[in-house]
């Protein structure tokens, strides 16, 4: 796991860039989440990711831990690809409306990580990165169908009507100020990046 990667990085004098998650937060406070805010996971997944962060911090000073959220791309399985699939198969869908966060386009995240590496800066530590904005899963689904031109009825439902294996934070919008100021990088708005992804998936 993360500990072994940290130890191996130390052995080879390498700087480690580790991707973590908004799941390390409880998400019960409606306020932008900063890197030094108390992390209290409410799922096993979030707990294991937080333990991984701690292992890296304790064993490798030269690290960047990048927390991200609601990750999607044209690759592998994710919410955007699932919505496009279900939207083509069904007349209506029920989507959670009371979890608020920010989608992150995988291509943008990869670019941000590359920017960190190429910056040559040594301000190691934890950083938050997602696209800009804040929406619910319901909003996200509606945007996916609007951009793709998919005709489907979308019904908003509370989390209680759609339990998942890993309990998600109710509010996990992260403050990206530290990342933007340190690396002097503009972060794309979530809908602009979603348009790019859907264009690649549908052409």
Residues tagged active-site: 45
Angle subtended at Cα 171 by Cα 142 and Cα 195, rounded to the nearest 5 degrees = 30
CA atoms within 13 A on the CB side of 173: 15
SS3 18: strand
Q: What is the distance of C-alpha 75 from the center of its chain?
A: 15
3-state secondary structure 118-152: HHCCCCCEEEECCCECCEEHHHHHHHHHHHHCCCC
Angle subtended at Cα 178 by Cα 27 and Cα 197, rounded to the nearest 5 degrees = 70
Distance CA 61, CA 56 (A): 8
Distance CA 124, CA 34 (A): 16
Integer CA distances (angstroms), 1 to 15, 56, 63, 83, in order? 16, 10, 15, 31
């Amino acid at each position: 796991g993360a500990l072994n990667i940290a130890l191996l990085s130390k052995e080879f004098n390498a700087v480690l860039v580790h991707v973590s998650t908004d799941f390390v937060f409880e998400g019960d406070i409606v306020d932008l989440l900063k890197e030094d805010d108390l992390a209290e996971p409410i799922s096993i997944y979030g707990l294991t990711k937080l333990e991984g962060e701690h292992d890296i911090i304790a064993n490798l000073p030269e690290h960047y831990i990048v927390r991200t959220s609601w990750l999607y791309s044209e690759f592998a399985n994710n919410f955007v690809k699932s919505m496009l699939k279900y939207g083509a198969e069904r007349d209506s869908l029920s989507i959670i409306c009371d979890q608020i966060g920010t989608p992150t386009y995988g291509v943008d995240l990869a670019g941000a990580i590359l920017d960190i590496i190429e910056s040559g800066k040594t301000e190691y530590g934890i950083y938050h990165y997602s696209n800009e904005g804040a929406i619910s899963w319901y909003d996200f689904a509606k945007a996916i169908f609007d951009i793709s031109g998919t005709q489907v009825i979308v019904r908003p439902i509370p989390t209680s009507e759609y339990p998942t294996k890993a309990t998600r934070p109710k509010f996990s919008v992260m403050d990206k100020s530290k990342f933007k100021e340190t690396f002097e990088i503009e972060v794309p708005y979530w809908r602009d990046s979603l348009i790019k992804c859907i264009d690649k998936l549908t052409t």
